[in-house]
């Protein structure tokens, strides 16, 4: 399945907008997590953790699913890059899958901290969960930056499947001519 030039540009535009939004939302989440970890102001900490849950549920999770389930596969399968032809695409796919899975696992601690914040019961005993949110957000941001770098630089290296597909097609087309 090949995408026409206009549809390919449209899908690529949506893909870039969503992935940049995802990266920015995670950066904002990390900033909030750091403020929540270091704040001595109970009201500020409560506001931070309540905001983090809203941002996660309504911004980060949807933004993580669009490139993983929609625009990424469309671009891979609808363009000459292919889904399994180049190592950089496979690595980017793995980064996105792992980032989304880790995000979904961290919904519970985020929700837990938001519940504590709503009740006004955040204590020093919750420091481990607070640190966990900072570390997870930092790791997520680094992973998304790595995926962005791969998308921009597109390092060389074809998979065995990619070599067969590219050179098998050329060999078959030269036999026909």
Q: Give this prediction's pTM.
A: 0.88
162 CA to centre of own chain: 25
Q: Kindly tell me if the per-residue pLDDT of 172 is higher than 60.
A: no
Q: What is the pLDDT of residues 28-79, one digit of tens each?
A: 999 999 999 999 999 999 999 999 999 999 999 999 999 999 999 999 888 8
Q: Kindly tell me if the per-residue pLDDT of 176 is higher than 50.
A: no
pLDDT (average), residues 87-110: 94
Domain boundary assignment for the chain: 5-176
Angle at 72 between CA 13 and CA 111, to 5 degrees: 100
- As assigned by CATH, the class of the 5-176 domain is mainly alpha
Nearest CA-CA partner of 106 in 77, 124, 131: 131
Under a CB-based contact definition with an 8 Å cutoff, are residues 110 and 26 in contact?
Answer: no
Strand partners, 176: none
Furthest C-alpha separation in the chain: 76
Give the number of other Cβ atoms within 10 Å of residue 4's Cβ.
Answer: 9
């Amino acid at each position: 399945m090949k995408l026409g030039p206009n549809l390919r540009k449209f899908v690529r535009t949506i893909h870039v907008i969503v992935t940049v939004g995802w990266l920015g939302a995670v950066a904002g989440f990390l900033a909030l997590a750091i403020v929540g970890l270091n704040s001595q102001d109970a009201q500020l900490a409560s506001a931070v953790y309540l905001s983090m849950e809203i941002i996660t549920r309504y911004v980060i999770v949807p933004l993580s699913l669009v490139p993983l389930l929609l625009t990424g596969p469309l671009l891979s399968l609808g363009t000459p890059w292919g889904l399994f032809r180049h190592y950089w695409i496979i690595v980017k796919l793995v980064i996105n899958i792992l980032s989304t899975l880790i995000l979904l696992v961290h919904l519970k601690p985020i929700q837990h901290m938001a519940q504590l914040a709503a009740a006004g019961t955040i204590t020093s005993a919750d420091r481990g969960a607070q640190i966990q949110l900072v570390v997870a957000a930092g790791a997520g941001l680094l992973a998304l930056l790595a995926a962005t770098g791969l998308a921009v630089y597109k390092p060389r290296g074809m998979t065995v499947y990619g070599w067969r597909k590219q050179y098998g097609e050329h060999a078959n087309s030269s036999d026909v001519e």
